Protein backbone atom coordinates (compact mmCIF):
# COMPACT_ATOMS: atom_id res chain seq x y z
CA UNK A 1 0.00 0.00 0.00
CA UNK A 2 1.40 3.39 -0.95
CA UNK A 3 1.79 6.18 1.60
CA UNK A 4 0.01 9.45 0.70
CA UNK A 5 2.46 12.11 -0.35
CA UNK A 6 1.51 14.44 2.49
CA UNK A 7 2.04 11.63 5.04
CA UNK A 8 5.41 10.76 3.55
CA UNK A 9 6.43 14.39 3.75
CA UNK A 10 5.31 14.56 7.39
CA UNK A 11 7.39 11.47 8.22
CA UNK A 12 10.38 12.95 6.44
CA UNK A 13 9.94 16.25 8.27
CA UNK A 14 9.66 14.52 11.65
CA UNK A 15 12.81 12.51 10.94
CA UNK A 16 14.67 15.67 9.96
CA UNK A 17 13.44 17.53 13.04
CA UNK A 18 14.46 14.58 15.22
CA UNK A 19 17.95 14.58 13.76
CA UNK A 20 18.21 18.35 14.14
CA UNK A 21 17.05 18.13 17.76
CA UNK A 22 19.63 15.44 18.41
CA UNK A 23 22.39 17.61 17.02
CA UNK A 24 21.26 20.61 19.03
CA UNK A 25 21.49 18.54 22.21
CA UNK A 26 24.98 17.41 21.19
CA UNK A 27 26.08 20.98 20.58
CA UNK A 28 24.57 22.18 23.86
CA UNK A 29 26.33 19.41 25.75
CA UNK A 30 29.63 20.27 24.09
CA UNK A 31 29.16 23.97 24.82
CA UNK A 32 28.48 23.34 28.49
CA UNK A 33 31.49 21.03 28.92
CA UNK A 34 29.32 18.60 30.86
CA UNK A 35 27.96 15.51 29.17
CA UNK A 36 29.94 15.47 25.93
CA UNK A 37 33.67 14.71 25.58
CA UNK A 38 35.97 17.66 25.00
CA UNK A 39 38.93 15.77 23.54
CA UNK A 40 37.97 13.02 21.11
CA UNK A 41 40.58 10.79 19.45
CA UNK A 42 39.47 8.71 16.46
CA UNK A 43 41.50 5.54 15.85
CA UNK A 44 41.52 2.43 13.70
CA UNK A 45 43.41 0.83 10.81
CA UNK A 46 44.16 2.37 7.42
CA UNK A 47 41.04 3.03 5.36
CA UNK A 48 38.51 2.61 8.17
CA UNK A 49 37.33 6.24 8.01
CA UNK A 50 39.17 8.00 10.85
CA UNK A 51 39.89 11.28 9.09
CA UNK A 52 36.41 11.59 7.59
CA UNK A 53 34.76 11.12 10.97
CA UNK A 54 37.21 13.43 12.73
CA UNK A 55 36.48 16.21 10.24
CA UNK A 56 32.71 15.81 10.59
CA UNK A 57 32.85 15.85 14.39
CA UNK A 58 35.17 18.86 14.52
CA UNK A 59 32.97 20.75 12.05
CA UNK A 60 29.76 19.98 13.93
CA UNK A 61 31.18 20.75 17.37
CA UNK A 62 33.34 23.67 16.26
CA UNK A 63 36.33 21.99 17.91
CA UNK A 64 39.94 22.43 16.76
CA UNK A 65 41.04 19.59 14.45
CA UNK A 66 44.48 17.97 14.48
CA UNK A 67 45.11 15.47 11.68
CA UNK A 68 47.88 13.01 11.08
CA UNK A 69 49.91 14.42 8.17
CA UNK A 70 50.34 11.10 6.37
CA UNK A 71 51.16 12.48 2.94
CA UNK A 72 54.07 14.51 4.37
CA UNK A 73 56.03 11.34 5.16
CA UNK A 74 58.56 11.00 2.29
CA UNK A 75 59.27 7.36 3.15
CA UNK A 76 55.71 6.06 3.17
CA UNK A 77 55.37 5.38 -0.55
CA UNK A 78 58.66 3.47 -0.47
CA UNK A 79 57.47 1.46 2.52
CA UNK A 80 54.29 0.37 0.75
CA UNK A 81 56.30 -0.49 -2.38
CA UNK A 82 59.36 -2.12 -0.77
CA UNK A 83 58.11 -3.30 2.62
CA UNK A 84 60.34 -3.72 5.65
CA UNK A 85 63.43 -2.21 3.99
CA UNK A 86 61.84 1.21 4.48
CA UNK A 87 60.04 0.52 7.75
CA UNK A 88 62.47 2.19 10.17
CA UNK A 89 62.75 5.63 8.49
CA UNK A 90 58.99 5.58 7.90
CA UNK A 91 58.29 4.89 11.55
CA UNK A 92 60.83 7.39 12.88
CA UNK A 93 59.45 10.15 10.66
CA UNK A 94 55.96 9.55 12.03
CA UNK A 95 57.27 9.45 15.59
CA UNK A 96 59.07 12.79 15.31
CA UNK A 97 56.16 14.34 13.44
CA UNK A 98 53.68 13.28 16.12
CA UNK A 99 56.03 14.51 18.84
CA UNK A 100 55.73 18.00 17.33
CA UNK A 101 51.96 17.65 17.12
CA UNK A 102 51.75 16.68 20.80
CA UNK A 103 53.32 20.03 21.64
CA UNK A 104 50.38 21.75 19.92
CA UNK A 105 47.74 19.83 21.86
CA UNK A 106 45.87 21.60 24.66
CA UNK A 107 46.63 20.46 28.18
CA UNK A 108 44.22 19.44 30.88
CA UNK A 109 42.67 22.89 31.27
CA UNK A 110 38.96 22.23 30.65
CA UNK A 111 38.48 25.73 29.29
CA UNK A 112 40.89 25.09 26.42
CA UNK A 113 40.69 21.34 26.08
CA UNK A 114 38.39 20.92 23.06
CA UNK A 115 40.07 18.91 20.30
CA UNK A 116 39.41 16.22 17.71
CA UNK A 117 42.28 14.12 16.34
CA UNK A 118 42.46 11.21 13.91
CA UNK A 119 45.36 9.56 15.73
CA UNK A 120 46.81 8.71 19.13
CA UNK A 121 50.54 8.91 19.78
CA UNK A 122 50.27 5.69 21.80
CA UNK A 123 49.50 3.66 18.68
CA UNK A 124 52.97 4.34 17.21
CA UNK A 125 54.38 1.33 19.01
CA UNK A 126 51.68 -0.81 17.39
CA UNK A 127 53.02 -0.01 13.91
CA UNK A 128 56.63 -0.29 15.05
CA UNK A 129 56.05 -3.76 16.51
CA UNK A 130 54.32 -4.85 13.32
CA UNK A 131 56.94 -3.61 10.85
CA UNK A 132 60.38 -3.44 12.52
CA UNK A 133 62.87 -6.22 13.21
CA UNK A 134 64.04 -6.67 16.84
CA UNK A 135 67.14 -4.43 16.53
CA UNK A 136 65.17 -1.68 14.79
CA UNK A 137 62.37 -1.93 17.33
CA UNK A 138 64.86 -1.53 20.18
CA UNK A 139 66.33 1.60 18.53
CA UNK A 140 62.87 3.00 17.88
CA UNK A 141 61.85 2.50 21.51
CA UNK A 142 65.05 4.15 22.77
CA UNK A 143 64.32 7.22 20.65
CA UNK A 144 60.67 7.21 21.69
CA UNK A 145 61.65 7.05 25.36
CA UNK A 146 64.17 9.88 24.98
CA UNK A 147 61.45 12.20 23.66
CA UNK A 148 59.58 11.96 26.97
CA UNK A 149 56.21 12.54 25.32
CA UNK A 150 53.26 13.29 27.60
CA UNK A 151 50.19 13.71 25.40
CA UNK A 152 46.93 14.72 27.06
CA UNK A 153 44.53 11.88 27.75
CA UNK A 154 41.44 11.80 25.52
CA UNK A 155 38.03 12.10 27.13
CA UNK A 156 36.88 9.48 24.62
CA UNK A 157 38.58 7.29 22.05
CA UNK A 158 36.40 6.17 19.14
CA UNK A 159 37.92 2.97 17.77
CA UNK A 160 36.60 2.13 14.30
CA UNK A 161 36.77 -1.53 13.27
CA UNK A 162 36.40 -3.18 9.85
CA UNK A 163 37.76 -6.38 8.26
CA UNK A 164 40.71 -6.26 5.86
CA UNK A 165 38.56 -6.78 2.74
CA UNK A 166 36.53 -3.65 3.60
CA UNK A 167 39.69 -1.66 4.35
CA UNK A 168 41.17 -2.69 1.00
CA UNK A 169 38.02 -1.58 -0.85
CA UNK A 170 38.02 1.81 0.88
CA UNK A 171 41.73 2.37 0.27
CA UNK A 172 41.15 1.60 -3.41
CA UNK A 173 38.17 3.96 -3.64
CA UNK A 174 39.94 6.95 -2.12
CA UNK A 175 42.55 6.63 -4.84
CA UNK A 176 45.78 7.76 -3.17
CA UNK A 177 48.46 6.45 -5.53
CA UNK A 178 51.02 5.13 -3.08
CA UNK A 179 48.35 3.33 -1.04
CA UNK A 180 47.24 1.17 -3.96
CA UNK A 181 50.15 -1.21 -3.39
CA UNK A 182 49.08 -2.00 0.20
CA UNK A 183 48.63 -5.77 0.43
CA UNK A 184 45.53 -7.19 2.08
CA UNK A 185 47.73 -9.39 4.32
CA UNK A 186 49.23 -6.22 5.81
CA UNK A 187 45.77 -4.76 6.41
CA UNK A 188 44.68 -8.01 8.04
CA UNK A 189 47.69 -8.00 10.36
CA UNK A 190 47.10 -4.32 11.13
CA UNK A 191 43.44 -4.90 12.01
CA UNK A 192 44.49 -7.73 14.35
CA UNK A 193 47.13 -5.51 15.97
CA UNK A 194 44.58 -2.78 16.61
CA UNK A 195 42.19 -5.31 18.16
CA UNK A 196 44.93 -6.51 20.49
CA UNK A 197 46.01 -2.96 21.35
CA UNK A 198 42.52 -1.90 22.37
CA UNK A 199 41.88 -5.15 24.21
CA UNK A 200 44.43 -4.00 26.78
CA UNK A 201 44.05 -0.22 26.46
CA UNK A 202 42.52 1.37 29.57
CA UNK A 203 43.93 4.91 29.68
CA UNK A 204 40.66 6.47 28.48
CA UNK A 205 37.05 5.46 27.77
CA UNK A 206 36.71 3.63 24.44
CA UNK A 207 33.71 3.44 22.13
CA UNK A 208 34.30 0.47 19.82
CA UNK A 209 32.40 0.94 16.55
CA UNK A 210 31.73 -1.71 13.93
CA UNK A 211 32.30 0.54 10.91
CA UNK A 212 32.18 -2.18 8.25
CA UNK A 213 28.75 -1.34 6.83
CA UNK A 214 28.04 2.21 7.91
CA UNK A 215 28.91 5.40 6.08
CA UNK A 216 29.53 8.39 8.32
CA UNK A 217 30.65 10.49 5.35
CA UNK A 218 27.48 10.34 3.27
CA UNK A 219 24.70 8.98 5.49
CA UNK A 220 23.43 11.47 8.05
CA UNK A 221 21.34 8.82 9.82
CA UNK A 222 24.50 6.82 10.49
CA UNK A 223 26.31 9.91 11.76
CA UNK A 224 23.40 10.93 14.00
CA UNK A 225 23.23 7.41 15.45
CA UNK A 226 26.90 7.66 16.41
CA UNK A 227 26.33 11.07 18.01
CA UNK A 228 23.56 9.61 20.14
CA UNK A 229 25.83 6.74 21.14
CA UNK A 230 28.54 9.16 22.22
CA UNK A 231 26.05 11.21 24.23
CA UNK A 232 24.77 8.06 25.98
CA UNK A 233 28.23 6.62 26.63
CA UNK A 234 28.52 5.10 30.10
CA UNK A 235 31.49 3.44 31.74
CA UNK A 236 34.93 3.01 30.22
CA UNK A 237 34.12 0.62 27.35
CA UNK A 238 31.11 0.37 25.10
CA UNK A 239 30.35 -1.32 21.79
CA UNK A 240 28.35 0.20 18.94
CA UNK A 241 27.34 -2.44 16.41
CA UNK A 242 24.57 -0.81 14.37
CA UNK A 243 22.49 -2.64 11.82
CA UNK A 244 22.72 -0.32 8.80
CA UNK A 245 19.27 -1.39 7.55
CA UNK A 246 17.64 -0.10 10.73
CA UNK A 247 19.25 3.32 10.84
Report whether pLDDT(2) > 80: no
pLDDT tens string 122-152: 888 999 999 999 999 999 999 999 998 888 8
Binned at pLDDT 50, 70 and 90, residue 31 comes out as: low
Provide the number of structural domains found in the chain: 1
Residue 190 lies in a domain: yes
pLDDT tens string 98-113: 888 888 787 645 446 7
Q: What are residue 156's DSSP bridge partners?
A: 40
Residue 175's CATH number: 3.40.50.300
Report whether pLDDT(3) > 70: no
State the DSSP H helix or E strand holding residue 156, giving kind and residue range, or none if neither: strand 156-161
pLDDT tens string 198-219: 999 999 999 999 999 888 888 8
Binned at pLDDT 50, 70 and 90, residue 36 comes out as: confident
CB 132 within 8 A of CB 85: no
Cα→Cα distances 143→116, 127, 181, 201, 228, Å: 27, 15, 29, 22, 41
Report whether pLDDT(22) > 90: no
Residue 5 lies in a domain: no
Reduced to 3 states (helix: H, G, I; strand: E, B; else coil), residue 217 is: coil
Residue 209 lies in a domain: yes
Residue 2 lies in a domain: no
Residue 12 lies in a domain: no
Domain range enclosing 127? 38-246
Amino acid sequence: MSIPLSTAQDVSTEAYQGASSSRLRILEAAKNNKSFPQYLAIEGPIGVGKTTLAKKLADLLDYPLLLEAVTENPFLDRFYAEGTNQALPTQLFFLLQRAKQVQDMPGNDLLARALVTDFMIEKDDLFATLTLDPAELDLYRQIHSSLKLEPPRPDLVIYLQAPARVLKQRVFRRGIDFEQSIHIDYLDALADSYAEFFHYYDDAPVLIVNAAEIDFANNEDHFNALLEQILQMEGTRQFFNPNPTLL
